[in-house]
Amino acid sequence: MLLIGLFALLPLYWMLVTALSPADRVFQFPPDFLPDSITFANFRAVADDRQLFDYLTNSLIVALTTSVLSVVVSTYMGYSFSKFRYRGRRSLMHLVLASQMFPQSLLLITLYALFREMGMLGSYTALVLSFSTFTMPLCVWMLKGIFDTIPDALMEAAAIDGASRRRILHSVVAPLAAPGMAAAALFSFVRGWNDFIFALSLADKDTMTLPPGLVNTYIGEFQTSWPTLMAASLVVSLPVVVAFMFLQRFLVGGLTAGAVKS
């Protein structure tokens, strides 16, 4: 496990080494894994780039909105699939699952044409809806598995006490499913934060998020500023790392809560 961990962290370490290295030392051969010359000029260049903070703001808006929308819709859908029996339920469940089987690049063409006809290209709405298209199916099945583990007796007791179906979901079921909802929220946030191809195709200059923004800023046709790009990549990774640190226990609990039905 230690060797696997070192292998997984090697790219992150190399990003840090490149970000702290002067530009004339980046391409030296053999590579210097322990640089003897360190500079923070690349991080200062990132801090002075105001456009980068606009991309950061756009990423936060899109990722947070995608996370909230995915969790809210997935909670109601997962609860419906788990606790109710109605005609077409199984077909709907399979339809939600089948949506994950299409290549994202293929759906990009359809979504681009749809948003263009609706006049939504270059808007936050187009980005949020496109990201939610891919986060919602997994969130629905994840939360359905968690709702399956919640005993029906709890809901029956709440109904006897006069609680409505909506009150039962919000006051009884949702608190018990909080770890799974946190896991779904984190998954949706990371998906909206890291997406490149949809953000590049559907956004404009004012709504562009960090992944395509970094590429457009630091990667050119004839020259690429690798040290500054690595420094910017480390900085913009911090929100996801911090979110994962605070929600790690909920993520692990949410992913395993529905594994065994009680």
Instruction: Please say if the pLDDT value at position 22 is more than 60.
Output: yes
Give the confidence band of 254 by pLDDT, cuts at 50, 70, 90: low
- 3-class DSSP assignment, residue 212: helix
Q: Mean pLDDT throughout 40-63?
A: 86
Q: Residue 251 has what pLDDT?
A: 64
Q: Residue 75 has what pLDDT?
A: 93
Q: Mean pLDDT throughout 226-250?
A: 78
Percent of the chain with pLDDT over 90: 15
How far apart, in whole angstroms, are the C-alpha atoms of residue 167 and residue 140?
20
Instruction: Please say if the pLDDT value at position 246 is more than 80.
Output: no
Instruction: Please say if the pLDDT value at position 68 is more than 90.
Output: yes
Instruction: Please say if the pLDDT value at position 252 is more than 70.
Output: no
Q: Residue 262 has what pLDDT?
A: 44
- Angle of CA points 20, 22, 27, to nearest 5°: 105
How far apart, in whole angstroms, are the C-alpha atoms of residue 183 and residue 185?
5
pLDDT tens for 164-221 read 888 888 888 888 888 888 888 888 888 888 888 899 899 888 899 988 888 888 876 6
Q: Mean pLDDT throughout 140-149?
A: 88
Q: Mean pLDDT throughout 76-94?
A: 89
**Burial class for 9, CB neighbours closer than 10 Å (0-12, 13-18, 19+):** exposed
Among residues 208, 209, 215, the alpha carbon closest in space to that of 229 is found at 215
Cis bond before residue 30 (omega within 30° of 0): yes
Q: Residue 222 has what pLDDT?
A: 65
Domain ranges of the chain: 51-257
pLDDT tens for 150-171 read 888 888 888 888 888 888 888 8
CATH of domain 51-257: 1.10.3720.10
